[in-house]
Every structure is written in C-alpha cells, then in structure tokens.
C-alpha cells in the first residue's frame, strides 16, 4: 500500500546553526517541500541581513534537496513600518516569544500590554505579515498555555486583520479559541498528537520526550487529535522539531525539545491510518498551510509506503523520537516529482 503526499510542509521547524544545522537540515529537506524556520538562534534573527545570511546557510546545508526555507524574524516591539515593509520580501512571518520561556528566548517580550506592542503589531497588520506566538505564561507549567489565552483574545480583537498563529498548541482550551476568532490559527506537533505527560514522567523520566510547551492531559490530546484528524481548516502541521545534542538531553537541566523531523511523516501516516482518516492527511500536512499563508510551495511528491521503518538510534549526535523503534510506514521522495 502506498499514498502520495503533495508538497508536504512543516510550518514550525528549528534548524539551529553551525554544525547542528549541517548535521540535521537534510532530515527535513528530504521529506518536506518547505518549512517555516524559527529565528531563535543564540543571537536571534532581527535584521534583514541576518535573515538573508541565515537562509544562505540553510540552503547550503540542504544541498540539492528541493526545499524552501520560509524565513522569520524574532519579534521586537519597536520594528518600524518602513523596516517591515522592506523585510516582507524576505520573510513569511514574525515569531513572538515571551522572555525566557523556552530555548534562546531571553530577548523576547516581557510586557504584554497592547500599547507596548502596538507599533509592530499595527505595521504587521497593515502589511499582512502573520504573527506566530509561543503562547505560555510563567505560571504553573500545566496551566501556562491556558493562562496565555486571554492575550490571544486581546490581540485577536484589537487587530482583527492580523493573522495570528498559535504555535504548537497543547490543550483543549486553545482548540476552542480557533472557532472563537476568525484570525486565529494553529500549528500542532506530532508529539502533542501522540503523548501526554504520563509518557514523559509517569514512569521513568524520558528526557527525549521533554519539550515546551510540556505535553498535557489525555483530554487535551484528544482535542488536538480531533481537529487534526478531521481536517479542520485552521490547523496545520508544525513539527517544532528541536534538536539538541544527546549530552544536553541526558543531563541535569535537560534541554527542552523533541527531534521528530526524520520520523514525522511516517508517524503521522500511522496515526491517520489507525483512525481511518488518511484522506485528511494531505490537508493537515500541506493544503491548509497553503491557504492560511497564501504560499505556492515547491512541487514535490513524497511517497508513504506500508513498509517497516526502523528508526535509527541517532542522527549525528541527536536522538530522534522513536529511536530504535519500528514504524509501519516508510517515506521517500517520488522519482517523478
């Protein structure tokens, strides 16, 4: 049994930089036609020159693979209209991080008063530049996303023309927000569709499943699965694949992030097949994102074949999700694409 995915897209991807970029970039570019590339490098991407330079490094790392890196800027509250008008040619979105909430986010937003963010948000709204948000407060870890929902509602109402993507949503409350505001959209990861906090810490601690936002409850996973599996038009796949060296994961102070890029399509196909929803996989993995972002991706066909795939123990020095386990679907690029 085989199915063909047309131009699969990853709408939330961490490619890092330097040796890590060189090591893992092709784990995405082999299987996807494009991806929204996150800007939270050690020195965040905040200028046009930095966007151009980073894109060049990404393209060098992927070699001859047919893959378009859709670049982003790291949100700053004082971006001017003229700057963003010029930057729009080089970026697809701007990513907002609350300060210190996740990896390399120390330079993020510390005040969520609308007036403190208005200049940048108004310019983005007028220029039709999407706002991508890591939506968490600094509250109790299981409640952070829910607590952040009031800010989503505030900016959705204040800037009704601004396209807002709630990144890597993890709870049922965020799912409910999708139908409450026309300008709210969401990405959902593979791991949040599959795991709960029990999988991370219910028995022995599994550091390679530790991520932010942290995996939540069974009812939250069920809500995420419902909209993804049924092809909800406002949700799209974003892996949030976030590689860290093995020693940074298997250590005191475990780094947050799950590396899922090389297994994502196989595992998603397995999930959709299990729920008898394979007909909606194309929507989740590409079609919805094309409509939401208004993009024309590179033409690329990826074949999913019902053939056992033994996941490697590591890619370079990075341990992937499902390391050493067998998945029932294999993926590869069609020779006709």
Q: Which of 199, 125, 136, 211 is nearest to 167 (CA)?
A: 136
- Token match 């008008």: residue? 85
At 112, the pLDDT band (50, 70, 90 cuts) reads confident
pLDDT tens-digit profile of 222-267?
Answer: 999 999 999 999 999 999 999 999 999 999 999 999 999 999 999 9
Q: What whole-number distance in Å separates Cα of residue 40 and Cα of residue 44?
A: 5
In CATH, what number is assigned to the domain containing residue 29?
A: 3.20.20.140
Residue 336 has pLDDT above 80, yes or no: no
Q: What percentage of the chain exceeds 90 in pLDDT?
A: 95
Q: Is 240 marked active-site?
A: yes
The token duo for 37 is 């590339």
How many structural domains compose the chain? 1
Averaged confidence pLDDT in the chain: 96
Least confident of 35-49, 93-107, 237-251, 304-318: 93-107
Q: Which of 60, 12, 14, 7 is nearest to 31 (CA)?
A: 7
Q: Are the beta carbons of 91 and 129 closer than 8 angstroms?
A: yes
pTM of the model: 0.97
Q: What's the confidence (pLDDT) of residue 127?
A: 98
Q: What whole-number distance in Å separates Cα of residue 190 and Cα of residue 178?
A: 19
Instruction: Summarize the confidence of residues 84-96 as an average pLDDT.
Output: 98
Residue 67 lies in a domain: yes
Residue 315 lies in a domain: no
- Give the range of the structural domain holding residue 41, as residue numbers without chain letter: 9-297
pLDDT tens-digit profile of 270-288?
Answer: 999 999 999 999 999 999 9
Active-site choice (19, 240, 247, 276): 240
Please provide the DSSP assignment of 115-134 as one string.
HHHHHHHHHHHHHTPPEEE-
- Token match 């599994």: residue? 206
pLDDT tens-digit profile of 23-58?
Answer: 999 999 999 999 999 999 999 999 999 999 999 999
Residue 176 lies in a domain: yes
């Amino acid at each position: 049994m085989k199915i063909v995915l047309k131009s699969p897209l990853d709408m939330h991807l961490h490619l890092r930089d330097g040796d890590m970029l060189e090591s893992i970039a092709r784990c995405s570019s082999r299987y996807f036609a494009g991806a929204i590339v996150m800007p939270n490098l050690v020195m965040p991407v905040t200028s046009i020159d930095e966007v151009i330079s980073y894109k060049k490094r990404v393209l060098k790392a992927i070699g001859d693979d047919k893959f378009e890196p859709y670049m982003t800027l790291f949100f700053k509250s004082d971006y001017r209209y003229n700057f963003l008008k010029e930057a729009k040619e080089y970026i697809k979105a701007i990513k907002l991080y609350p300060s210190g909430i996740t990896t390399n986010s120390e330079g993020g937003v510390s005040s969520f008063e609308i007036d403190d963010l208005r200049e940048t948000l108004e310019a983005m709204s007028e220029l039709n530049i999407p706002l991508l948000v890591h939506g968490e407060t600094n509250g109790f870890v299981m409640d952070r996303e829910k607590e952040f929902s009031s800010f989503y509602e505030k900016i959705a109402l204040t800037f009704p023309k601004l396209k807002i993507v709630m990144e890597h949503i993890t709870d049922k409350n965020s799912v409910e927000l999708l139908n409450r505001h026309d300008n709210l959209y969401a990405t959902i990861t593979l791991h949040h569709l599959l795991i709960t906090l029990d999988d991370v810490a219910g028995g022995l601690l599994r550091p390679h499943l530790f991520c932010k936002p942290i995996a939540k409850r069974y009812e939250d996973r069920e809500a995420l699965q419902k909209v993804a599996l049924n092809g909800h038009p406002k949700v799209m796949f974003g892996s949030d694949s976030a590689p860290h060296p093995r020693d940074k994961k298997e250590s005191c102070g475990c780094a947050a992030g799950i590396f899922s890029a090389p297994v994502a399509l196989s595992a998603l196909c397995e999930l959709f097949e299990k729920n008898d929803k394979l007909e909606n996989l194309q929507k989740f993995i590409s079609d919805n994102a094309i409509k939401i972002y208004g993009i024309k991706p590179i033409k690329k066909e990826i074949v999913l074949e019902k053939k056992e795939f033994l996941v490697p123990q590591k890619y370079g020095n990075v341990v992937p999700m499902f390391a050493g386990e067998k998945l029932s679907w294999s993926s590869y690029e069609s020779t006709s694409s």
